[in-house]
């Protein structure tokens, strides 16, 4: 469910007053993650590594209350649920978006992930979920990347998690991940805590 709230009714009032009219309110943090556990689970259980990483991302986000509010069109909105967006290569050679609702149950999330992304792939039509706060993702697995800074547009203020190709080493697999967020939604400390929780979530998968 999505509902508009007055900034003064949230803990983001000061940030809203400071950053809502800023021409560049987006902040990007980059951290290198150890994703060895994801790669192992993917091979052992035949699960897609991108699905596993997306589940870890939205599970980590669900533990930080700032993810449940979002600025949009000069207003502040509160949500009671999260979803993750993935980019799908469709059968016509183009791309579409697909919003996948978050559930704490990995197997259910995997079922939803496969069903919805296959539907988008075949239909060449995006699936959007307006009632969830969307955590965007973008995987550019064709090459190794150190950092990604996304475009800023007032049409999309959602947090965005982006990465390139995995890096395999002697003792594990690593992946630099860029996290971009709107300063009205959260501060740098919240973002840094999200990245710490994300690594712990990956380690415990």
Tens of pLDDT, residue by residue, the chain (205 residues): 899 999 998 999 999 999 999 888 999 999 999 999 999 999 999 999 999 999 999 999 999 999 999 999 899 999 999 999 999 999 999 999 999 999 999 999 999 999 999 999 999 999 999 999 999 999 998 899 999 888 777 778 999 999 999 999 888 999 999 999 999 999 999 999 999 999 999 999 9
In a domain, 64, yes or no: yes
What pTM did the predictor assign?
A: 0.95
Cβ(68)–Cβ(89) below 8 Å: no
CA dist 25 and 41 (Å) reads 37
CA dist 97 and 80 (Å) reads 22
In a domain, 6, yes or no: no
CA dist 16 and 35 (Å) reads 35
CA dist 90 and 53 (Å) reads 21
Beta-strand ranges (E) seen in the chain are: 2-5, 26-34, 69-72, 75-79, 82-89, 95-101, 133-139, 160-163, 167-168, 173-182
Token pair, residue 50, equals 């991108």
CA dist 147 and 164 (Å) reads 9
CA dist 50 and 39 (Å) reads 10
Closest CA relative to residue 105, chosen from 58, 40, 61, 158: 58
| H helix intervals, 62-187 | 106-123
For the chain, how many structural domains are there in total?
A: 1
Can you tell me whether residue 121 is helix, strand or coil? helix
Cβ(190)–Cβ(15) below 8 Å: no
Closest CA relative to residue 161, chosen from 148, 178, 174: 178
In a domain, 7, yes or no: no
Confidence at residue 97, expressed as pLDDT on a 0 to 100 scale? 97
In a domain, 40, yes or no: yes
Confidence at residue 150, expressed as pLDDT on a 0 to 100 scale? 83
In a domain, 19, yes or no: no
Sign of CA dihedral 111, 47, 194, 201: positive
In a domain, 158, yes or no: yes
Task: Tell me, rounded to whole angstroms, the distance of Cα 113 from its chain centroid.
Answer: 14
The domain in which residue 116 lies consists of 24-204
Confidence at residue 155, expressed as pLDDT on a 0 to 100 scale? 74
In a domain, 74, yes or no: yes
In a domain, 18, yes or no: no
Confidence at residue 151, expressed as pLDDT on a 0 to 100 scale? 78
Query: Residue 153: which CATH number?
Result: 3.30.559.10
């Amino acid at each position: 469910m999505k509902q508009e709230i007055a900034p003064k009714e949230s803990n983001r009032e000061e940030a809203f007053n400071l950053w809502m009219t800023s021409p560049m309110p987006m902040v990007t943090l980059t951290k290198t993650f150890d994703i060895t556990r994801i790669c192992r689970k993917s091979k052992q259980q035949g699960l897609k590594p991108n699905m596993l990483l997306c589940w870890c991302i939205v599970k980590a986000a669900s533990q930080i209350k700032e993810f449940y509010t979002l600025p949009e069109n000069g207003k502040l909105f509160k949500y009671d649920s999260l979803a993750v967006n993935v980019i799908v290569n469709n059968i016509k050679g183009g791309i579409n978006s697909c919003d996948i609702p978050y559930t704490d149950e990995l197997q259910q999330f995997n079922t939803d992930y496969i069903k919805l992304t296959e539907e988008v792939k075949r239909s060449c039509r995006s699936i959007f979920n307006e009632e969830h706060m969307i955590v965007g993702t973008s995987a550019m697995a064709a090459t190794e990347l150190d950092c990604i800074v996304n475009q800023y547009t007032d049409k999309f203020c959602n947090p965005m998690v982006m990465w390139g190709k995995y890096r395999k080493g002697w003792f594990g697999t690593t992946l630099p991940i860029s996290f971009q967020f709107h300063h009205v939604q959260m501060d740098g400390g919240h973002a840094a805590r999200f990245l710490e929780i994300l690594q712990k979530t990956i380690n415990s998968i």
